[in-house]
Amino acid sequence: MSLRESPFPNAFVEGLHAVGWGLIFPCFWFLDRLIAGCISTSLERRLRREAECYLHPLKVVFGSFLFLVLFVISTPFALLGFVLWAPLQAARRPFSYRQHVPTVAMENRNARWEETGKLSFGFVTANLCLLPDGIARFNNLGQTQRRAAVIGHIIVQGVTRPHIRIFVDSPSSCGTLTPSNSLLPQAAASSYGAVESVAASQTEGLEPDGDAASVTSSDDPGGLKQHPQPSVPNCNQNCNQHVHPPRALRTLLKDSDVSSLFPSSVDVVCLQEVFDKRAAQKLMRALGPLYGHVIYDVGVYACYPAGTCSSFKFFNSGLFLASRYPVTEAQFRCFPNGCGEDALAAKGLLCVKVDIGLQKGEKRMVGYINCTHLHAPEGDGEIRFEQLNMSTKWICEFQTTTKQDNEMVMFDVLCGDFNFDNCSPDDRLEQSHGVFEEYRDPCRAGAGQEKPWVIGTLLEQPTLYHEDVATLENLQRTLENEEQRRHFISPPVPLRGVPLDYPEPGQPWVGRRIDYLLYREASDSSHCTTEVEEFTYVTQLAGLTDHIPVSFRLNVTLDSEEM
């Protein structure tokens, strides 16, 4: 049975909540603009220097005074709204759910599964840093609302492109070339900065946002310029054709690929740090025509647990999930052990069960997706370790409760921002957790050891707008070059007081990989096996976030006796 869309039990409670938030929001917005006006990103500072603009200090002074006055005036209304809003959180389900009929078609990779005995499923995870604009600027990222709209548009642009397989007939190579390395025309370089210069052809559906501190320049240095997706032949005509690429492209496939575009035909998109409610709405509207089932505004607010004042949640969990498949069950549980600034957000675990819409005999095919965002501060490995313990326990409980006898589990994925890597000495405790025995990490060779092709996913914030990483094509080239990427990927965290010698002799420089996609190799039906078909690092969000999105495609093979 499908979930109801409203997070509240009835329209009356939902209306009261809307009134309470409506009284709070102006005060919240004025405070956000006050902070944002005082903090500039490195890109904005560079653009002002190039434009020789010296009026910024005056804008900061007068803008700060104006927003401070408005903040003080709106505070009494916010307090009144808070008295109405806070108690209603006890009646709120910890997420909002939107379902509708998609209007944008996506290629069905499983149209012939009964003939081949194989099914394919694509997943993407990305941390977007969509905090309120004033707070996002501490991470050298601004203009949250416009970033959200552009990111949603870019994801749709990437995943709806045709999937073209190029078969290589060279005696010394085999397999296929992925689109990023093939003859498929590449999207033009893009970067994020002066978002008011977005090409008109790419901004249909993007709403103007007056609260974004835009900086423009005549030559648009660092501006966002997205071009229409290149025209390619119909996928149904090309997927099975043998195309002969130039001899220079006839090389052995790597275990992973750095792609300037999101992979085509992604079935589930899992996002983290979508803390801002309006940004979540923009993402939902952008992805809605493609993904008919969206879970957003995930988390709890106010006092948690309910009735206590020990921990007040100002922000939700930041988790966001968009699925092509109908969601039949969903559950969110908040980590109770957050501390410091992380305790202000309701970080936790979102567990979702989806109905794939296929059936074998009397058994329906279903899948499980688990998305999380663990404790962030360095040096708090014990907290993250305990959160992993809770996550594995909650996943087991959720699947035990929701699994039916007439169902086949086709995939079970755990993904998100784990905030620890597999190369830092400071993260050794988390690296040895038992979750890596239950779920397989395709990038991991062992505890503390990455596979040679692995690339870190956490970018250095001060250099987000450097020429080598500010556009999707430049970022792709940088990630593919081991010597160059070490200047832009965050390095491992050493133990306190212990010098770090990294990498070990003969080993490649990887950097911090804190964004994970894990999967179970075999479902509990014992009638199918799972393996990774492709693993992709995506650079299409260059300049829009400080993380590298990652994607993989799972091939699920049914046993012959099951067929």
- The DSSP element (H or E) to which 411 belongs, if any, is strand 407-417
What one-character DSSP code corresponds to residue 273?
-
User: Given its phi and psi angles, is residue 223 left (phi above 0), alpha (psi -120 to 50 degrees) or beta?
Assistant: beta
What residues are annotated to the active site?
547
Burial readout 461-492 (b: 16 or more C-beta within 10 A, e: otherwise): eebbbbeebbbbbbbbbbbeeeeebbebbbbb
Reduced DSSP (H G I as helix, E B as strand, rest coil) percent helix, strand, coil of the chain, to 5: 30, 20, 45
What one-character DSSP code corresponds to residue 153?
H
Listing DSSP states for 204-236 in one string gives: TTPPP-TTS-----TT-TT-----PPPP---HH
- Phi/psi for 371 (5° steps) reads -125, 135
The answer to whether the CB of 219 falls within 8 A of the CB of 47 is no
CA 230, 546, 322: angle at the middle one, nearest 5? Answer: 60
The answer to whether the CB of 167 falls within 8 A of the CB of 176 is yes
The answer to whether the CB of 329 falls within 8 A of the CB of 402 is yes
The answer to whether the CB of 123 falls within 8 A of the CB of 262 is no
Of residues 36, 24, 17, the one with CA closest to residue 146: 36
CA distances from 441 to 316, 388, 428, 513, 519 (A): 27, 15, 16, 12, 7
The answer to whether the CB of 272 falls within 8 A of the CB of 319 is yes
Q: Which two three-digit tokens encode residue 504?
A: 């070990």
| Residue 525, C-beta contacts closer than 8 angstroms, at least 6 positions apart | 363, 408, 409
